[in-house]
Amino acid sequence: MVLVRRDSGRTINTEGTPQGVKVKTMKKFELQATRQKSYYGKARVEITNGKALLYSYNTLVCFIDERTNTFYRTWDGYSLTTSNHINDFRRLYGLHAINKKRWLELPVVSCNPLVDLVKDYNTNYTPVLNVGLSDIA
Protein backbone atom coordinates (compact mmCIF):
# COMPACT_ATOMS: atom_id res chain seq x y z
CA MET A 1 0.00 0.00 0.00
CA VAL A 2 1.29 3.45 -0.93
CA LEU A 3 -0.01 6.63 0.64
CA VAL A 4 0.34 9.98 -1.06
CA ARG A 5 0.30 13.14 1.02
CA ARG A 6 -1.59 16.01 -0.59
CA ASP A 7 -0.97 19.69 0.14
CA SER A 8 -4.14 19.72 2.23
CA GLY A 9 -2.53 17.23 4.62
CA ARG A 10 -4.97 14.44 3.78
CA THR A 11 -3.74 11.12 2.45
CA ILE A 12 -5.15 8.98 -0.32
CA ASN A 13 -4.79 5.25 -0.75
CA THR A 14 -3.14 4.28 -4.02
CA GLU A 15 -3.37 0.53 -3.46
CA GLY A 16 -2.68 -1.34 -6.67
CA THR A 17 0.28 0.83 -7.65
CA PRO A 18 3.23 -1.48 -8.43
CA GLN A 19 5.65 -1.92 -5.54
CA GLY A 20 8.60 0.43 -5.77
CA VAL A 21 6.74 3.04 -7.85
CA LYS A 22 6.64 6.42 -6.15
CA VAL A 23 3.70 8.72 -6.80
CA LYS A 24 4.68 12.37 -6.66
CA THR A 25 3.01 14.69 -4.19
CA MET A 26 -0.08 16.31 -5.61
CA LYS A 27 -0.42 20.09 -5.62
CA LYS A 28 -3.94 21.53 -5.59
CA PHE A 29 -5.13 25.09 -6.01
CA GLU A 30 -8.15 27.10 -7.11
CA LEU A 31 -7.92 28.56 -10.61
CA GLN A 32 -7.79 32.37 -10.57
CA ALA A 33 -10.46 34.09 -12.65
CA THR A 34 -9.51 36.89 -15.03
CA ARG A 35 -12.98 38.18 -16.00
CA GLN A 36 -14.61 38.11 -12.58
CA LYS A 37 -13.69 38.19 -8.90
CA SER A 38 -13.48 34.42 -8.40
CA TYR A 39 -14.76 31.06 -9.61
CA TYR A 40 -15.80 30.34 -6.00
CA GLY A 41 -14.23 26.89 -5.91
CA LYS A 42 -15.85 25.70 -9.16
CA ALA A 43 -12.53 25.48 -11.05
CA ARG A 44 -9.46 23.84 -9.55
CA VAL A 45 -6.09 22.66 -10.79
CA GLU A 46 -4.28 19.55 -9.58
CA ILE A 47 -0.68 18.94 -10.57
CA THR A 48 0.67 15.42 -10.31
CA ASN A 49 3.17 13.28 -12.22
CA GLY A 50 3.96 16.06 -14.68
CA LYS A 51 0.35 16.77 -15.60
CA ALA A 52 -1.74 19.82 -14.69
CA LEU A 53 -5.37 18.70 -14.52
CA LEU A 54 -8.27 21.16 -14.72
CA TYR A 55 -11.47 20.25 -12.90
CA SER A 56 -14.56 22.33 -13.63
CA TYR A 57 -17.53 21.58 -11.36
CA ASN A 58 -15.69 18.41 -10.19
CA THR A 59 -15.35 17.10 -13.77
CA LEU A 60 -11.93 16.60 -15.34
CA VAL A 61 -12.24 18.66 -18.54
CA CYS A 62 -8.65 18.94 -19.77
CA PHE A 63 -5.01 18.69 -18.82
CA ILE A 64 -1.62 19.98 -19.85
CA ASP A 65 1.47 17.80 -19.99
CA GLU A 66 3.98 20.06 -18.22
CA ARG A 67 6.96 18.39 -19.89
CA THR A 68 5.80 19.27 -23.40
CA ASN A 69 3.29 22.06 -22.59
CA THR A 70 0.75 20.14 -24.70
CA PHE A 71 -2.97 20.68 -24.10
CA TYR A 72 -5.42 17.74 -24.09
CA ARG A 73 -9.22 17.68 -23.96
CA THR A 74 -10.78 15.02 -21.70
CA TRP A 75 -14.43 16.12 -21.58
CA ASP A 76 -16.73 15.75 -24.58
CA GLY A 77 -19.14 18.52 -23.57
CA TYR A 78 -19.19 22.30 -23.84
CA SER A 79 -20.49 25.13 -21.66
CA LEU A 80 -19.73 28.83 -21.64
CA THR A 81 -18.70 28.82 -17.96
CA THR A 82 -16.40 25.84 -18.39
CA SER A 83 -14.88 27.43 -21.49
CA ASN A 84 -13.96 30.43 -19.30
CA HIS A 85 -12.26 28.01 -16.88
CA ILE A 86 -10.43 26.33 -19.77
CA ASN A 87 -9.19 29.59 -21.26
CA ASP A 88 -7.92 30.89 -17.90
CA PHE A 89 -6.18 27.54 -17.40
CA ARG A 90 -4.56 27.81 -20.85
CA ARG A 91 -3.44 31.39 -20.14
CA LEU A 92 -1.86 30.18 -16.88
CA TYR A 93 0.44 28.00 -19.03
CA GLY A 94 1.12 30.64 -21.68
CA LEU A 95 -1.30 29.23 -24.26
CA HIS A 96 -3.81 31.25 -26.26
CA ALA A 97 -7.52 31.10 -25.54
CA ILE A 98 -9.63 28.90 -27.81
CA ASN A 99 -13.19 29.35 -29.04
CA LYS A 100 -16.07 26.86 -29.03
CA LYS A 101 -15.37 25.69 -32.59
CA ARG A 102 -11.71 24.92 -31.85
CA TRP A 103 -12.63 23.19 -28.55
CA LEU A 104 -15.12 20.90 -30.29
CA GLU A 105 -12.54 20.04 -32.97
CA LEU A 106 -10.04 18.75 -30.40
CA PRO A 107 -10.01 14.96 -29.92
CA VAL A 108 -11.16 13.69 -26.52
CA VAL A 109 -8.52 11.65 -24.70
CA SER A 110 -8.67 9.83 -21.38
CA CYS A 111 -6.49 10.78 -18.45
CA ASN A 112 -5.99 8.83 -15.24
CA PRO A 113 -2.74 9.83 -13.49
CA LEU A 114 -2.39 6.55 -11.55
CA VAL A 115 -3.18 4.38 -14.58
CA ASP A 116 -0.66 6.37 -16.63
CA LEU A 117 1.93 5.82 -13.90
CA VAL A 118 1.32 2.06 -13.94
CA LYS A 119 1.57 2.00 -17.77
CA ASP A 120 4.88 3.87 -17.56
CA TYR A 121 6.11 1.41 -14.92
CA ASN A 122 5.08 -1.62 -17.02
CA THR A 123 6.75 -0.16 -20.12
CA ASN A 124 10.05 0.90 -18.57
CA TYR A 125 10.71 -1.68 -15.86
CA THR A 126 11.11 -5.45 -16.08
CA PRO A 127 10.88 -7.53 -12.90
CA VAL A 128 14.22 -9.19 -12.10
CA LEU A 129 12.76 -11.88 -9.88
CA ASN A 130 9.16 -13.06 -9.81
CA VAL A 131 9.07 -15.66 -7.04
CA GLY A 132 6.14 -16.37 -4.73
CA LEU A 133 6.62 -17.14 -1.02
CA SER A 134 5.75 -20.81 -1.62
CA ASP A 135 8.70 -21.06 -4.06
CA ILE A 136 11.21 -19.99 -1.39
CA ALA A 137 10.47 -22.70 1.17
Q: What is the pLDDT of residue 63?
A: 95
pLDDT digit string, tens, across residues 117-136: 445 445 544 444 444 444 44
**The pTM of the whole model exceeds 0.85:** no
Residues of the chain short of pLDDT 50, as ranges, are 1-17, 117-118, 120-121, 124-137
DSSP letter assigned to residue 37 = S
**pLDDT, position 36:** 86
Domain range annotation of the chain: 3-111
- Amino acid (one-letter) located at 5: R
